[in-house]
Structure formats: C-alpha cells, structure tokens
Amino acid sequence: MDPNILHNIGYGMYIAASHKGDVLNGQIVNTVFQITSEPVTIAVSINKKNLTHEFIESSSCFSLSILLEDTPLSFIGRFGFKSGREGNKFKGIKFERLASGCPVVSNYSIGYLEAKVVNKVDCGTHTLFIGEMTDSKILKTGRPMTYDYYHQVKRGTTPKTAPTFIKGEEGTAAKDARMKKYRCTVCNYIYDPAIGDPDRGIQPDTAFEGLPEGWVCPVCGADKSQFTKEP
Ligand code: FE
C-alpha cells in the first residue's frame, strides 16, 4: 500500500464549531462533505478527544465556517493547533452566534452553515456527525481554501488528531533552499527561508537566524527556541 495516494483526495478548510451552554469551541476540519440535497445533510468527521466533539455531542448541533484562501496561518493555527481546554479560541476575534447557539467566525470566512445532528457513525478514533442544515449565509465572495492550497501554497501542516494525518508527514517546503530550514517541534511547521513568512512581511530569502526577535511560529505561536535545524 502507498499511503501517498491519500494526498490526492480533495478537501476544503473549515472551522467546525459548537457550544456547551455559554462556552464556545471550534476547530479546523477538512473532512466535510454534503451527503443529500433534500433535505440538505452535511457530514463532518471529528476526533473523539477534541473538545468540539464533546460540545457537538452535548448540543447536537454544529456550524461550519468556510475559510478563504487568504486566511493567515496564525488564524488557522489558533483553531487547528490549540485546544479549547487551554483557552477560549473565540476570544479577541469577530464572531456571531446563530440561533442554535453555535458560533461562526466573521473574518476570513466566505460564509457558514449550521446543522442539527440527525445521525452519527462511530469510526474508532473519530465520529462522523451527520447534520441537517438549519441555516446558511454567504458573507463574502472569494475562493474557498482547499486542503491542497493550505499545504502547497500556505505551507501549512496537519495535527496528529486530524482524520487525514499520515504518519511521517511533515510540512512541505521547497527542496533546494540555499539556507537551512527549521522545523517547529510543536506543530511540525517548517520555516523555509526561500519562502519567508509572507503573512507577516518576512520576505523570501530571509534566513531563520535573520528573523526578528519575537518572531513566532505562524501556525502554533511557538517561539524561535522551539525550532530545530533540519538535516
Ligand atoms: Fe508551530
């Protein structure tokens, strides 16, 4: 078997969110798909260890915000590489709460949909929640971010809890960089000097050693001391 075949399955990039009373949580998901059109049902796969899983179980509803291509890595990192158990991910960002109580993000979102859970499938490490759409809205025009775009253009990485994580997978970075690449030991993001960190104005051809003091991993926020030089 060649697990690389799985990289050729297409996905999007979304924030799945839910609530438990007044406590909100959301996370990055890529495994979202429409199942039927009458009524509209949508499926999303969520790791059982994640707080969002607990909240969807508790509220029986979830929202999906569809992310734009220009969503910064730091925004994806906030929802994708941090746990809601350590802090409120919605603190300090613009969001709205829908009739179900589920939050949706206002920035970097093409629009959202809300669903009530009508079925679920136990898939071992993950639960596949199937929801009937109860609300939806388009907020902006733009291109939705695909999972491939996130990896190939944004140079994002995948946490171990994602359904599509492949052991040994790491951030994709240009193969023939003249300066050394550095890997974030927290989230596996690779700083590639050939690319820099365009979201934050770091130009291509900036060595890791030349990054300003206070520069942090664009994905998870770890500081420079948590990076190791790639062989
Ligand atoms: Fe990181």
| 214 CA → ligand 1 middle, Å | 14
| 216 CA → ligand 1 middle, Å | 8
Distance CA 193, CA 208 (A): 6
Contact status, residue 158 vs residue 7, Cβ threshold 8 Å: no
By three-state DSSP, how is residue 218 classified?
A: coil
The whole-number pLDDT of residue 169 equals 55
Contacts of residues 171-180 at CB distance under 8 Å and 24 or more positions apart, as own/partner, are: 179/205, 179/207, 179/208, 180/207, 180/208, 180/229, 180/230
Weakest mean pLDDT among 11-25, 39-53, 140-154: 140-154
Assign 178 a pLDDT band (cuts: 50, 70, 90). Answer: low
Q: What is the average per-residue pLDDT within 12-29?
A: 97
| 218 CA → ligand 1 middle, Å | 7
The whole-number pLDDT of residue 174 equals 41
Weakest mean pLDDT among 17-21, 25-29, 55-59, 205-209: 205-209
The whole-number pLDDT of residue 168 equals 60
What is the chain's mean pLDDT, rounded? Answer: 91
| 40 CA → ligand 1 middle, Å | 37
* Residues around ligand 1, an ion, CB closer than 5 A: 184, 186-187, 189, 217, 219-220, 222
Nearest CA-CA partner of 126 in 43, 11, 224: 43
| 97 CA → ligand 1 middle, Å | 29
| 130 CA → ligand 1 middle, Å | 32
Length of the chain: 231
| 77 CA → ligand 1 middle, Å | 8
Q: What is the average per-residue pLDDT within 106-122?
A: 97
pTM of the model: 0.83
Residue type, 187: C
